[in-house]
Amino acid sequence: MQTITITLTDPESGATEDANAEFEDSEISLLKDYLSNTDKLVSLSIVKDGIPTNLGGIFTQGKEPSFNVKLPDEEKILSLLHRLRLFILNDQTASYNKITGIIARKFNNSYVRSIIKKHRKVFDGLSFQGSMQLRVNGKIINSEEVLFLWLNSFEYHDDKTKKEEIDKLHQLLPLDVSKALFLVLLSEKVKAILGIADFVSLLVGRTNSIKTMA
């Protein structure tokens, strides 16, 4: 068992507050695994340089819309999906949800929990949805639900039932349009993953301070 104390500083008033939490050795090990996986993630050029996507459309009344989509190289997308498996699949021992769940349980502190909540909103794609939504047959394409339909039918698994659902959503909408939106969702996940990694670095002593988690 390890007791960890962090000092929180209000950026406006400068007031400080200590937050304490007790972690089992096994939990500390998971936090370190999360950081190790993060190191591998940020080593990818598609993460270091940003995930480039370009999506444009022309909408004319009485005509079918036309789209202009530019996606990264397939090899770069596959490398990103491979590294993200460890974070976004809940059966992984140091997934994003498991690590943030541990931190939220351990710290009985409203500020720490509010920051985790903000990052989860980004991770779940809700921040992106706040700026735009694309709906087809009542479903939001840029959502966790449809993202995982795509991942489980084309990338991580070969689920025929989920592929049929994806096909129904793309009878008129080109799949590449959705892939561009899925990549934005994945870039949001990367942003949240790295934000939590900063805090985990503080917990395990890799760094002494962080300026912000927001």
58 within some domain: yes
CB 209 within 8 A of CB 152: no
**13-59 confidence digits (pLDDT tens):** 778 888 899 999 999 999 999 999 999 999 999 999 888 776 655 44
Alpha helices, H only, 107-157: 110-123, 126-131, 144-150
CB 160 within 8 A of CB 150: no
Q: Which amino acid, 23?
A: F
- In whole angstroms, what is the distance from residue 200 CA to residue 98 CA? 13
Report the sign of the C-alpha dihedral through residues 37, 38, 40, 41, in that order. Answer: positive
35 within some domain: yes
198 within some domain: yes
Count of the separate structural domains present in the chain: 1
6 within some domain: no
For 23, phi then psi, to 5°, come to: -120, 135
pLDDT of residue 64: 55
CB 43 within 8 A of CB 57: no
68 within some domain: yes
E runs forming strands in the chain: 2-9, 16-23, 54-58, 66-70, 135-136, 139-140
179 within some domain: yes
Name residue, tokens 């129904």: 168
The rounded percent of the chain whose pLDDT value lies above 70 is 91
- In whole angstroms, what is the distance from residue 157 CA to residue 162 CA? 10
Crossing angle (nearest 10°) for helices 25-42 and 175-203: 130
Residue 100 confidence (pLDDT) above 90 = yes
Tokens read off for 124:
């779940």
108 within some domain: yes
153 within some domain: yes
pLDDT of residue 191: 96
pLDDT of residue 58: 46
Residue 193 confidence (pLDDT) above 80 = yes
Domain that holds residue 116: 24-203
For residues 139-151, average pLDDT = 95
What is the residue-averaged pLDDT of the chain?
88
DSSP state of 89: -
pLDDT of residue 65: 58
Q: pTM higher than 0.95 for the full model? A: no
pLDDT of residue 31: 97
